[in-house]
Amino acid sequence: MAAVTAAMVKELREMTGAGMMDCKKALAATEGDMDKAVEFLREKGLAGAAKKAGRIAAEGIVATALSADEKKAVVVEVNAETDFVAKNEKFQTYVADVAAQALNTTAADIDAFLNEKWEKDQSLTVAEALSSQISIIGENMKIRRFTQVEEANGFIASYIHAGGKIGVLVDVETDVVNDELKVMAKNVAMQAAALKPLFTNRDEVDADYLEKETEILTAAAKNEKPDANDKIIEGMVRGRINKELKEICLLDQVYVKAEDGKQTVAQYVAEVAKANGAKVAVKKFVRFETGEGLEKKEENFAEEVAKQMGQ
């Protein structure tokens, strides 16, 4: 059985908001498996869905680039070791150059992208240009990921939040392109940045995800009401799944700028479309957050000093 450490308990608390002793029990019951511990707490009704923010730590910038006609766009993430470098003008210029190249690349993945010629200096590959920047800036850096989006029958909206902490692209299919529709699309992109949806709409929701959520919520409902019959439990689970879908699906979310606090993003889009005599569909979005899913190395300086002194 894996030993449960204070750091593990702290991480689980940050992810779930559950109490310290509950987190310790959950980790002990699941032999230190963080994901299973989250499920354990949720089944006991002691936690909501896992908060991933507690595990986001790497520094860097997310940047976007758009074609002149706004029918093609790319979002990229480039990591550095410190926030100080992420705010450095040379680093930001370099990331903008990476985004410009990624906009037109035919590479299917990062490895292929790193092996192609660097557009600003054809004598170098993208990987060699990156190594050169590492030497200049003095920190380890990594081009982590990129995603291109194209829309022949409409346009792509782009939004960068907090100086590059979050980047969003929104694919809008429409037979009318004007300033009002572009403002609407940017508002939808800002919504995605702020409320972190997992899917565009319910059609995108993975069947395995729904099955797992149903399993967890059923266990939680039975623990909450052990004497309830199956019909009542099913009703409870259906209601909670529906509530969750309204939180994780972009078009089902309550629009943050809604004056009545009730209008959904889908209703907002439809309202703007009607006002402009347009047929509009928000087909998909891409959201990158700097360091998402990466762990920052935690240094124990006392141990490091002792090690260097030969103790």
| Domain assignment present for 300 | no
Whether residue 157 contacts residue 190, with contact meaning beta carbons closer than 8 Å, is answered with no
Same domain, 12 and 46: yes
Same domain, 100 and 72: yes
Same domain, 96 and 137: yes
Find all residues with CB under 8 Å of 258, minimum gap 6, and list them: 268
Same domain, 96 and 138: yes
Same domain, 96 and 73: yes
Same domain, 83 and 106: yes
Find all residues with CB under 8 Å of 156, minimum gap 6, and list them: 66, 70, 71, 72, 73, 149, 150, 169, 170, 171, 172
Number of domains observed in the structure of the chain:
2
pLDDT at 254: 95
Same domain, 66 and 44: no
- Given 122, 149, 176, the domain boundary residue is 149
| Domain assignment present for 268 | no
**CATH number of domain containing 14:** 1.10.8.10
As a whole number of angstroms, the distance between CA 283 and CA 172 comes to: 6
pLDDT at 132: 87
Same domain, 71 and 34: no
Same domain, 59 and 102: yes
| Domain assignment present for 306 | no
pLDDT at 128: 93
As a whole number of angstroms, the distance between CA 15 and CA 42 comes to: 12
- Given 149, 175, 203, the domain boundary residue is 149
| Domain assignment present for 84 | yes
Find all residues with CB under 8 Å of 140, minimum gap 6, and list them: 80, 81, 134
| Domain assignment present for 115 | yes
Can you give the three-state secondary structure of 124-189, one letter per residue? EEHHHHHHHHHHHHCCCEEEEEEEEEECCCEEEEEEEECCCCEEEEEEEEECCCCHHHHHHHHHHH
Same domain, 107 and 25: no
pLDDT tens digits for the chain (311 residues)?
A: 568 888 888 888 877 777 788 888 999 999 999 888 888 888 887 765 555 433 333 689 999 999 999 999 999 999 988 888 888 899 999 999 999 999 999 999 999 999 999 999 999 999 999 988 887 887 788 999 999 999 999 999 999 998 999 999 999 999 999 999 999 999 999 999 999 999 999 989 888 888 888 899 999 989 989 888 989 988 998 889 888 889 999 999 999 999 888 999 999 999 999 999 999 999 999 999 998 877 555 444 455 445 544 44
Same domain, 99 and 141: yes
pLDDT at 10: 84
pLDDT at 304: 47
Domain span holding position 59: 55-149
φ, ψ of residue 58 in degrees (nearest 5): -65, 145
pLDDT at 51: 54
Nearest Cα residue to 179 out of 70, 79, 270, 66: 70
| Domain assignment present for 98 | yes
- Given 149, 165, 188, the domain boundary residue is 149
pLDDT at 23: 87
Q: What share of the chain is helix, strand, coil (3-state, %, to 5)?
A: 50, 20, 30
As a whole number of angstroms, the distance between CA 114 and CA 151 comes to: 26
| Domain assignment present for 200 | no
Same domain, 95 and 118: yes
| Domain assignment present for 125 | yes
pLDDT at 17: 73
